[in-house]
A and B are shown apart, each in its own frame.
Chain A
Amino acid sequence: MTKTTNILLAGVGGQGVLLASEVLSKTALREDYDVKKSEVHGMAQRGGSVVSNVRFGKKVYSPLIAEGEADIILAFEQLEALRWVKYLRPGGIIVTSTQRIDPLPVAVGEIDYPDDVLERLEKMEYDVVSIDALELAREAGNQKAINIVLIGCLSNYIKLSVDGLRQVIQESVPEKTVDINLRAFEAGRTHENILTLN
């Protein structure tokens, strides 16, 4: 456990990025890692890109992941995956939701949303897992659970215990949505497009 694990979560304001990073970092703390998590609140959340840095290991100094240093990017929206991919280290993993949220200039027809985001990601030298988290969250009972679907999917590629994650999710979501969120977690975890890592 000497090497620090760096997970960069990227999405759009309102998608629940911050709760997801909270779940990851709390679980890491319980497993006795030193943990730092950093994100920006405020203006950045009015429909802007939202990024959260989660780092855990023996001793963590910087609260920020530097470019080229992330082990995993967990993207809540395709374009955000592409936007932050430069933060990934060589051989890193991208877990991305296929959801598409148009930035305002796209919505008003000023510029186009690139229609080849996933292809561009797949062409890069990284392992890419794409998952329709919005659909899976709706199936689980609430579209807001996309963050937990994604954590479920991510759980296949990180060394945090699955039970630990489940436990923290239970404690972190509103009581009446626990079942939905646990279903969402399983849906993400058992999603078919699973990479085999060696």
Chain B
Amino acid sequence: MIDKQLLSGNEAVARGAYEAGVRVATAYPGTPSTEILENIVKYKDDIYCEWSPNEKVAMEVAIGSSFGGVRSLVAMKHVGLNVAADPFMTLSYTGVKGGLVIVTADDPGMHSSQNEQDNRHYARFAKVPMVEPADSQEAKDFVGKALDISEEFDTPVILRTTTRISHAKTVTELGEREEKSVPEGFVRDPGKFVMVPDNARKRHPVIEERLKELAEFAEKTELNRIEWEEKEIGIITSGVAYNYAREVFPEASILKLGLTYPLPEKKIKDFAAEVSKLYIIEELDPFLEEQIRAMGIEVTGKDKLPITFELNTKIVRDSLLGNNSDILEKEEENESDELPYRTPALCPGCPHRGVFYTLNKLGVAVTGDIGCYALGVVPPLSAMDSLVCMGASIGNAFGLELALGDKIKGDVVGVIGDSTFMHSGITGLIDIVYNKGASTIIILDNRITAMTGHQQNPVTGKTLMGEETEIIDLAKISEAVGVKRVLTVDPYNLDQTKKVIQEELDSDEISVIIARRACALLKYVERKPPLHVDSEKCKNCGFCLEIGCPALVQGDGQSRIDDYLCTGCGVCVEVCPFDAIEKDGGIDD
């Protein structure tokens, strides 16, 4: 019997890696890619897998394994490839030994991202082939296909997914693992692996030749298939957009591209010649469209379809066939648009809350970073003034101080999470020490990579494969790079937190404050009984609401605590001037 399962695209990629004989898999977490490695770990007897400190390192480890001759996979979210772009661009020149697939999971619509860059451009930029699955079955199968292409053409291969591929579950048939042998030893090949200019100059023409061969391959491969129906409308599409196209145009002929770089020019021209009208249906940039137009083919694409955000069947239908929805529907739409928006917020009990409450009260400029704590920007905490990319907070803080000098002295704080600090905060810190800055940096150390769903990282003492390991000490690292003022506070203790931050802002030296308390959602963190408001004592001053805790609600003339949400962390107790917030059965310690 065939084993059919409902797998997400990420689970399918993991399974694909297993079946295709991958031996090393690396990643740094990032939505929507995270679950790939979280699922590969199921196969840890056959696949070594790790959370690397960042995507560049993940890429470099995978490149090393490929040079060693085993099949390797590295996964990241779209912006992760920016971090890994340096090794990636030259990897195109070296080529591979063992097959190497680079999974980039893009996030059109920015469900959980700071931008919606279209990473298909990276394939063209680096001159490497790219495959794009349209569902989980393809996500699984394309891993093996990508590795075959990688080995046949001596090239890394990009496998690009998007949120609706990564996180949609679709029916997938499983296969068996095909074991690949490990080479007897490392085979030296400096002309290929050592990219000094002399060697690189020899490699570049090879890359151009490879691209031509790949374009020929694109003409024949079953990855690019034509579904002939009526010839009135022809559609060229790929990835998740194929599904929208098929559903909206059941009668159209479709050229479905699985290999989206390089393109099969002849196949496209032949297809275009057969149909009366040609649509290009793709999400985000006109990546296919521009190349197809350059072939001299007339198409309808981004002149009708949006270039921003995700597509869906409604958008495809309305854009290409015209909108005929009635007025009634519009009214309902307006009605739901005016409903209170459910902004994401720091969870009840989140240790980051105390720091942002304090920063808000101090009124300082806060250069922010990426993680759960980005939610420090949400009112009423409203304590974040910049957020660019992972690690940026530290350099941004220093730059702000350089720009405004005395005018902003003692009024800037950079905040960064523990995982983000390990990812790319350390070099920023070194810069400030080296160049004699005096910034105040707070490491929000909740002992986990929380935002992406609790992955281990170098401060947690555990590896992805579940082994105990060295705990990298944030205080010692800060000291080792030359920071003299390194302090640790408990962010549940507001008085202490405020006192220490104020002192460090006043100091003329760089300081690192480690705000340490484990994420309230971690299993080992005990959840205390919910607190409640004593209605005799509450004067409705609203102070407790300023901490922005979802469990604290403006009730009828008084604050109220939602016992479904409250974790009993007690931060609200500290801000209540009337001692009106208590544990059930009164305050006791």
B-contact bits for A27-53, CB 8 A (1 contact / 0 none): 001000011111111111111110000
Check A86–B336 contact: CB distance below 8 A. yes
A40 surroundings in chain B (CB, below 8 A)? 32, 111-112, 163, 167
A-contact bits for B156-170, CB 8 A (1 contact / 0 none): 000000011001111
A64 to B40, CA, bound (A): 26
Counting from the closest, the 6 A-B pairs by CB-CB distance are A42-B112, A42-B31, A109-B554, A63-B168, A46-B344, A38-B168
* Interface membership of A179, Cβ < 8 A: no
B31 surroundings in chain A (CB, below 8 A)? 41-43
A48 surroundings in chain B (CB, below 8 A)? 342-344
B-contact bits for A64-83, CB 8 A (1 contact / 0 none): 10111100000000011011
Closest to B166 in A: A41
Interface hub of B167, B340, B554 (most chain A Cβ within 10 A): B340
Given contacts A66-B313, A66-B314, whether A61 and B342 have CB atoms under 8 Å apart is no
The B-contacting residues of A in range 107-137, CB under 8 angstroms, are: 107-114, 120, 124, 134
A64 surroundings in chain B (CB, below 8 A)? 164, 312-313
Shortest B60–chain A CB gap in Å is 26
Check A46–B346 contact: CB distance below 8 A. yes
* Interface membership of B332, Cβ < 8 A: yes
* Interface membership of A191, Cβ < 8 A: no
A107 to B112, CA, bound (A): 24
Q: Which of B42-50, B179-187, B241-249, B486-494 contacts A (4 or more CB under 8 A)?
A: B241-249
B343 surroundings in chain A (CB, below 8 A)? 47-48, 103-105
B4 surroundings in chain A (CB, below 8 A)? 29
Check B345–A104 contact: CB distance below 8 A. yes
The A-contacting residues of B in range 304-341, CB under 8 angstroms, are: 312-314, 317, 325, 329, 332-333, 335-336, 339-341
* Interface membership of B427, Cβ < 8 A: no
Check B169–A37 contact: CB distance below 8 A. yes
Check B341–A103 contact: CB distance below 8 A. yes
* Interface membership of B380, Cβ < 8 A: yes
B549 surroundings in chain A (CB, below 8 A)? 107
Q: How many positions in chain A have a CB within 8 Å of any CB in the partner chain?
A: 55
Check A108–B163 contact: CB distance below 8 A. no
A68 to B332, CA, bound (A): 11
A42 to B6, CA, bound (A): 21
Instruction: Give the tally of cross-chain contacts (CB within 8 A).
Output: 168
Can you list 19 A-B pairs, Cβ within 8 angstroms, ordered by A?
A36-B135, A36-B169, A38-B164, A41-B34, A42-B32, A42-B111, A43-B344, A46-B344, A48-B342, A62-B313, A63-B240, A79-B342, A102-B550, A103-B341, A104-B345, A105-B340, A108-B380, A109-B542, A111-B340
Check A35–B342 contact: CB distance below 8 A. no
A108 surroundings in chain B (CB, below 8 A)? 379-380, 545-546, 548, 552, 554
B379 surroundings in chain A (CB, below 8 A)? 104-105, 108, 110
A83 to B342, CA, bound (A): 10
Shortest A171–chain B CB gap in Å is 13
A35 surroundings in chain B (CB, below 8 A)? 6, 169-171
A143 surroundings in chain B (CB, below 8 A)? 564
- List 17 additional contacts besides A42-B451, A48-B343, A111-B340; criterion CB under 8 Å: A12-B342, A29-B6, A29-B171, A40-B111, A46-B344, A47-B343, A61-B244, A67-B325, A79-B339, A82-B336, A84-B336, A86-B329, A86-B336, A102-B562, A103-B342, A105-B340, A108-B545
A44 to B107, CA, bound (A): 13
* Interface membership of B364, Cβ < 8 A: no
Closest to B110 in A: A43
A59 to B332, CA, bound (A): 30
The A-contacting residues of B in range 237-288, CB under 8 angstroms, are: 240, 242-244, 246-247
The A-contacting residues of B in range 544-560, CB under 8 angstroms, are: 545-546, 548-550, 552-554
* Interface membership of A13, Cβ < 8 A: yes
Given contacts A29-B4, A42-B452, A108-B554, whether A103 and B340 have CB atoms under 8 Å apart is yes
* Interface membership of A95, Cβ < 8 A: no
B17 surroundings in chain A (CB, below 8 A)? none
Check A104–B314 contact: CB distance below 8 A. no
Check A109–B169 contact: CB distance below 8 A. no
Closest to B240 in A: A63
B375 surroundings in chain A (CB, below 8 A)? 46
Check B164–A113 contact: CB distance below 8 A. no
* Interface membership of A25, Cβ < 8 A: yes
Check A85–B240 contact: CB distance below 8 A. no
A-contact bits for B85-105, CB 8 A (1 contact / 0 none): 000000000000000000000
Given contacts A46-B344, A104-B548, whether A62 and B312 have CB atoms under 8 Å apart is yes
B342 surroundings in chain A (CB, below 8 A)? 12, 47-49, 79-80, 103-104
A126 to B391, CA, bound (A): 50
A36 surroundings in chain B (CB, below 8 A)? 135, 168-170
* Interface membership of B378, Cβ < 8 A: yes
Contact of A43 among B111, B317, B333, B341 (CB under 8 A): B111
Interface hub of A66, A85, A134 (most chain B Cβ within 10 A): A66
B546 surroundings in chain A (CB, below 8 A)? 108
Check A79–B554 contact: CB distance below 8 A. no
